[in-house]
């Protein structure tokens, strides 16, 4: 009976040690950081009382809104028409601009030269033929990456926001992300902008090697140590 109690204490003690050690076994996962500030456009109130309490807010945290089309009148401003896929409250309305002109919404991103990044955003249109006249362009580091024209309203409100994704390689430590837009009749809506670094799965230390679960390692260690202890106990009793 005394031996059985000793074995029990030994197993419990080993289990505790293995459990604590096992907590450090899983390899650290890199945290993905969105380089875009306020990419979901949720940081500001829909109406700014310091601007005009009767109009949507054009002052968008983190973004440069170069869209003046008149005295204190901006084409780009916050909207309460959000992307339903992300349960937000806001998007940015890219409104009317005069013929031949574009409105701009931009932000400088902290990047690393020669690193690859992935840009994603959602875009919706409320224009329909025959009232259809819109342009949407994406610039990264001063280079045009994408141009969309005459986007049309999707009658299914859950599908009107479409996701667009593109990759780019940074050429400097600071990369300007800029959206240019023109709508001749109504407006477009932009939401959920993100830029993440593209991780190289084949890079050194990427963590692709399989690692046993902590409980498996603990079981193997306990079995080995317990077996050695029993052998020594048996030899001592002979």
User: For residues 35 and 110, what is the distance between their CA atoms, to the nearest angstrom?
Assistant: 7
Checking if the pLDDT of 2 tops 70, the result is no
Q: 190 near 92, Cβ under 8 Å? A: yes
R_g over Cα of the chain: 29
**Quick one: CATH architecture of 64-197?**
Sandwich (2.60)
pLDDT at 49: 87
Q: Which strands form 188-197's sheet, in the order they lie side by side?
A: 76-79, 91-94, 188-197, 116-125, 162-169
17-72: per-residue pLDDT in tens? 434 344 444 455 568 899 999 999 999 999 998 899 999 999 999 999 999 999 88
Other Cβ atoms closer than 10 A to 172: 11
Angle at which helix 2-22 crosses helix 214-237, to 10 degrees, equals 150
pLDDT at 21: 42
**Percent residues over pLDDT 70 in the chain:** 71
**Percent residues over pLDDT 90 in the chain:** 66
125-140: per-residue pLDDT in tens? 999 999 999 999 999 9
The torsion region of residue 62 among left (phi > 0), alpha (psi -120 to 50) and beta comes to left
User: For residues 52 and 64, what is the distance between their CA atoms, to the nearest angstrom?
Assistant: 19
CA distances from 67 to 38, 57, 71 (A): 18, 13, 11
Q: Residue ranges of the domains in the chain?
A: 2-26+211-237, 64-197
pLDDT at 87: 87
């Amino acid at each position: 009976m005394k031996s059985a109690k000793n074995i029990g204490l030994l197993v419990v003690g080993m289990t505790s040690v293995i459990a604590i050690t096992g907590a450090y076994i899983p390899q650290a996962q890199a945290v993905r950081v969105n380089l875009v500030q306020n990419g979901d456009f949720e940081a500001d109130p829909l109406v700014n009382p310091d601007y005009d309490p009767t109009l949507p807010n054009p002052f968008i945290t983190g973004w440069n809104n170069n869209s003046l089309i008149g005295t204190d009148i901006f084409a780009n401003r916050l909207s309460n028409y959000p992307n339903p896929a992300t349960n937000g409250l806001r998007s940015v309305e890219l409104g009317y601009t005069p013929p031949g002109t574009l409105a701009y919404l931009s932000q400088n991103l902290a990047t690393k030269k020669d690193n690859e990044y992935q840009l994603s955003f959602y875009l919706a249109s409320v224009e329909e033929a025959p009232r259809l006249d819109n342009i949407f362009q994406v610039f990264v580091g001063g280079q045009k990456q994408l141009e969309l024209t005459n986007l049309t309203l999707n009658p299914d409100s859950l599908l009107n926001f479409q996701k667009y994704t593109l990759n780019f390689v940074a050429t400097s430590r600071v990369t300007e992300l800029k959206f240019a837009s023109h709508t001749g009749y109504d407006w477009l809506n932009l939401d959920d902008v993100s830029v993440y670094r593209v991780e190289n799965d084949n890079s050194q230390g990427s963590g692709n090697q399989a690692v046993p679960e902590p409980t498996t390692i603990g079981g193997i260690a306990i079995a080995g140590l317990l077996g050695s202890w029993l052998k020594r106990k048996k030899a001592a009793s002979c």
